[in-house]
Structure 1
Amino acid sequence: MSWEEIAEKKRQALKNSIPSQWIIPDDLLPPADQADVTTFPRESGFFTERELELTSTNATDLLKKLASGEWTSTEITTAFCKTAAVAHQLTNCLSEAFFPLAISRAQELDEYLKVHGKPKGPFHGLPISIKDNFNYKGFDSTVGFASLVNEPATYNSTLVDLLLSAGAILYCKTNVPTAMMIAESVNNVYGRTVNPRNRSLTSGGSSGGESALIAFGGSRIGVGTDIGGSLRIPAACTGIFTIRPSFGRFPNSMTRSGLAGQEAVLSVNGPMAKTLEEVVLWASTVVGQAPWLTDPKCLPIPWRKVSPKGKLKIAVLYNDGIVTPTPPVSRALNETAEKLKRAGHEIVTWAPTEHKDLLGTLSRMFVADGGKSVQKLLEPTGEPFRPEMQAYADATELGVYDMWQLQLKRNELCKSYLDRWNAAGIDAVLCPVTPYSTVEHGKFAYVGYTGVFNVLDYPAVSFPCGVTTDKDIDAPYPEHKPLSDTDAQIQRDYSAEPVQGMPVNLQLVGRRLEDENVLAMTEVILKAVASS
């Protein structure tokens, strides 16, 4: 079959996996030009009050009710499966749906609780969604390639086994861009995932299926991955929470990659959720399962309880010297810095001294194989490079010596950044996640604000700061002096009207391996913002 035929059959199989009773009736289906569909569950009448109660309850409370037997996993799982099915019909956010398997497992866990009088594990009965690249026996992990359709996994990713042993319910996998190397979730197999808050805008990438599902309400906690911003960008585009952890804190082995074997910049996985509390819940629970016993690259560092200092010294990166944040993001950053000052925290300016070189290093590492990894996955079906992947099509392979020199350069930059951090005596860096709140489809042009911290391997939280875009305030800069050609293009493309009312996320970055501390500091920032 041609790649087009393979893709069409796969999309039809996914559509057929949705039970008929969960197909949105024509008379309830939102018109194609309705931008915001997050209101559909509550306003359409398609969901019962009980289903809405279950899916709007945070994961911490769900687990308490599951452990006590007050609520059943069967009822909760069914509600989330239905909501995920509806989310997919409105946003194209899924890549695999295994709802009957999930409900069957939920029934088994309910029976386990009755028989044993205690939950099976710390995630007992909780539905958790996972990104497409996590291997789950019997299901595809296509990462957007037609050649990987109908090639079901024969083993589980380490994290999948950990979640299952902890009692979690896995019920769907979520869409990604080709090779998971595009900042918007679009590929030739499943097509494009859209933002449920405004379907003319992107939900980000590469964990954009997860962000769309969670923002819609079809998941409380989902798991994505990040090699250049793939957790933080989609969280920002949809106004939810995530952490890009330090490498080695969470298990990442036995997952599928579009650049398999590329370890100069390491991919990590992490939770995405509507609340910071749920991000911390996932992180502490996963680390509490001692993942270093099953993942050889996991570090044996238990999850630590920390109390941040009463007065933080936060360095603000107002721009990275390459691209200026668009007006709503700059406004959000300035307002948040002012609120922190009023709350008694010390604010200093952070210079982007190494950022250009760090980003250049990252870009070269991603295409160091001359695009061969992507090409070899496209060739079997004749699938073409998507236009967003042109850098991979044009790349020239680095030799071993040149790659080693590049890694030496990376190490020098990491040392320089650490020295500067230490000399400044700062606790964290506050900066944009992206130049955008979110952006129209096809216009996401820059990942520099996230990618540099992948090279540095610093933990970074993407969080909604309470600011939303306002077309009356966030007009284009009247006399902008671009920092680069990319900056000039982004500012030319910017318009306040399309992103009206969208939430703005910021990024808080901490020291390497101090993931607990950066999450605790994020809570301090949220309190300062809320009290201002």
Structure 2
Amino acid sequence: MASTWEQVAAAKQASLAESIPSAFRIPHHRCPPESQLDVTTWPKDSGWFTSKELQITESTASHILQSIASKAWSAEEVTVAFCKRAAAAHQLTNCLSDAFFDEAVQQAKALDEHLERTGQVLGPLHGLPISLKDNFNIKGKDSTIGFTALVNQPAEYNATLVDILERLGAVRFCKTNVPTAMMIAESVNNTFGRTVNPLNRKLTSGGSSGGESALIAFGGSPLGVGTDIGGSLRIPAACVGIFTLRPSAGRFPTQRCRSGLAGQEAVQSVNGPMGRTLEDIILYSKSIVDAQPWKMDPKMLPLQWRVVEPPKKLKLAVLWNDGICLPTPPVTRALKETAEKLKEAGHDIVEWDPKLHQTALDVLARMFVADGGKTVEALLGITGEPYRPEMQMYADAQELGVYGMWRLHLERSELQREYLEQWMSIEGLDGILAPTTPYASVPHGDFKYVGYTGVYNVVDYSAVSFPCGVSVDKALDQHSSDYKAQSTFCEAAHNSYDAGLLHGMPVSLQLVAQRLEEEKVLAMTETVLRAIQ
């Protein structure tokens, strides 16, 4: 008798729990109470981690690599420390979709032997544990992307990026949870359930790379890789206050990954790093580009990593709001304070007119459901898995057809031309400073608007989401008395905003450069951080 989707999901969750070694299962008497919302302090407070394990897992990726190369730490002890902390992160936030800690330790031991034998590191990421979003195929492992139909369907090959990371010396040790088809802004699915935010477990860690963001914010990974088709790197990074780079298509290899909308290329999915420091994001990005991925993935552009010195005086256009969904009070305050500090530091601040944003988002929404939802429907149908409420647009979609899709491509190309024309009309413009999302984070189920990120997927611009040093303050961040909703999205954001619940949560902004300006946007972010710190 065939298993029901519920049985498949329950068995997969049990298998994942069982894969965590008994030594890495939190003793019952050390577990934080359910009422403890912020569990990021727990590793230090619990007494369960040794001082060495805490020292390792609270270090930057750059420091870890230096310590391994100098033999101050072994790759093995670094890997064990992160496996233990990742296991704890999963038990407290439900952030993993797979754990293969024993294999990781064996890989780390081999790297230690190589260093001992040759006196040389294998590559620029030698011994660094790197977590991977669920859709990165690893031979012999599932990539369920949230569907019960894809449970126990192990990949027959590695994603190209996985092979590159191994060649560079990185240690893979776990995969992280995503929403169904990776098309929800919160990480929730019928297979693994919901990932929660380690800074406040009543709030979302975002999506679709929300397993990654939760794991990294908890300290369970020094560096992770997620993907972004409408904000799936930037949204989860913003929800927990970490850094990420959304590159333009063609910089980092996407070949042989599993897609939630396989074959949809009207707007391309890209992948990028997520980490706790900008330095780590730069380190990873340069390492991947220096590996010349265009020699393995034909869609990659043969662009070497470029050294960019941004102008000492930046000219940035501020997107105060997109005319569709007003940012919530802490995001507006963060934007104002950041712009003021940039002005004080001598940078030019102008305003960005969001006149094309509604058009861009209309195009994006139609791209996502152009197949009439058939891709999602087919995967759900295998096990009889129901649509989650967040996926209703796929259930309701009407197929566009080839002619309709070609017309949509024309609209997209014209929109890209118009956006570039608007950019070039502001003489000397270096970038756009914008909210990453209208929210700091939201209670589970309340993430409704991805417009601030999605527009830059349509035009394929490089963007960094960064914590700007502002935290939600319930005394300061109240709605203004003259608030007027701009749309139903705006009304929903207003109604779900709870300053008390969000008090203390970090606020992120995004800095946007033009297409293929990854090096420039990272360098500009350094300049912005100097101004605001």
Structure 2 length as normaliser, TM-score? 0.99
Q: For residue 525 of structure 2, what is the amino acid of its counterpart? A: T
Q: Secondary structure at the match of 2:465?
A: strand
Could you tell me how far apart the structure 1 residues matched to 2:404 and 2:377 are? 22
Could you tell me how far apart the structure 2 residues matched to 1:182 and 1:478 are? 32
Q: For residue 400 of structure 1, what is the amino acid of its counterpart? A: V
Q: For residue 432 of structure 1, what is the amino acid of its counterpart? A: P
- Of residues 50, 53, 59, the one that matches 1:51 is 53
Counterpart residue number, 1:60 = 62
Deviations 1:215-268 (A, max 9, x none): 000011100000000000000000000010010000111000010000000000
How far did 1:61 drift? 1.6
- Of residues 32, 41, 49, the one that matches 1:39 is 41
Q: Secondary structure at the match of 1:497?
A: helix
How far did 1:123 drift? 1.0
Counterpart residue number, 2:72 = 70
Tell whether 2:456 aligns with 1:453.
yes
Could you tell me how far apart the structure 2 residues matched to 1:89 and 1:491 are? 32
Note if contact 1:312-1:346 (Cα within 8 Å) is conserved in structure 2: yes
How far did 1:490 drift? 1.6
**1:116-127, aligned counterparts within 5 Å?**
116-127=118-129
How far did 1:202 drift? 0.2
Q: Secondary structure at the match of 2:174?
A: strand
Deviations 1:489-531 (A, max 9, x none): 221222211111000000000010111000000010000000x
How far did 1:58 drift? 1.1
Counterpart residue number, 1:283 = 285
**1:372-411, aligned counterparts within 5 Å?**
372-411=374-413
Q: For residue 505 of structure 1, what is the amino acid of its counterpart? A: S
Counterpart residue number, 1:438 = 441
Q: Secondary structure at the match of 2:500?
A: coil
**1:485-504, aligned counterparts within 5 Å?**
485-504=488-507
How far did 1:68 drift? 2.4
Counterpart residue number, 1:415 = 417
Counterpart residue number, 2:476 = 473
Counterpart residue number, 1:256 = 258
Note if contact 2:442-2:496 (Cα within 8 Å) is conserved in structure 1: no
Q: Secondary structure at the match of 2:271?
A: strand
Unaligned runs of 5+ in 1: none
Q: For residue 376 of structure 2, what is the amino acid of its counterpart? A: V
How far did 1:481 drift? 1.3
How far did 1:359 drift? 0.2
How far did 1:115 drift? 1.2
RMSD: 0.7
Q: Secondary structure at the match of 1:424?
A: coil
Q: For residue 380 of structure 2, what is the amino acid of its counterpart? A: L
Structure 1 length as normaliser, TM-score? 0.99
Note if contact 1:476-1:495 (Cα within 8 Å) is conserved in structure 2: no
Q: For residue 153 of structure 1, what is the amino acid of its counterpart? A: A
- Of residues 81, 85, 88, the one that matches 1:86 is 88
Note if contact 1:355-1:452 (Cα within 8 Å) is conserved in structure 2: yes
- Of residues 519, 524, 532, the one that matches 1:521 is 524
Note if contact 1:476-1:496 (Cα within 8 Å) is conserved in structure 2: no
Q: Secondary structure at the match of 2:425?
A: helix
- Higher mean C-alpha deviation, range 205-214 or range 489-498: 489-498
Aligned residues: 530
Counterpart residue number, 2:173 = 171
Could you tell me how far apart the structure 2 residues matched to 1:48 and 1:435 are? 39
Could you tell me how far apart the structure 1 residues matched to 2:152 and 2:479 are? 47
Could you tell me how far apart the structure 2 residues matched to 1:117 and 1:509 are? 41
Counterpart residue number, 1:313 = 315
- Of residues 203, 227, 235, the one that matches 1:233 is 235
Tell whether 2:109 aligns with 1:107.
yes
Tell whether 2:271 aligns with 1:269.
yes
Could you tell me how far apart the structure 2 residues matched to 1:29 and 1:80 are? 18
Could you tell me how far apart the structure 1 residues matched to 2:340 and 2:51 are? 41
Unaligned runs of 5+ in 2: none
Deviations 1:111-157 (A, max 9, x none): 11111111111111110000000000111000000000001111000
Superposition misfits of 4+ residues, deviation over 4 angstroms: none
Q: Secondary structure at the match of 2:379?
A: helix
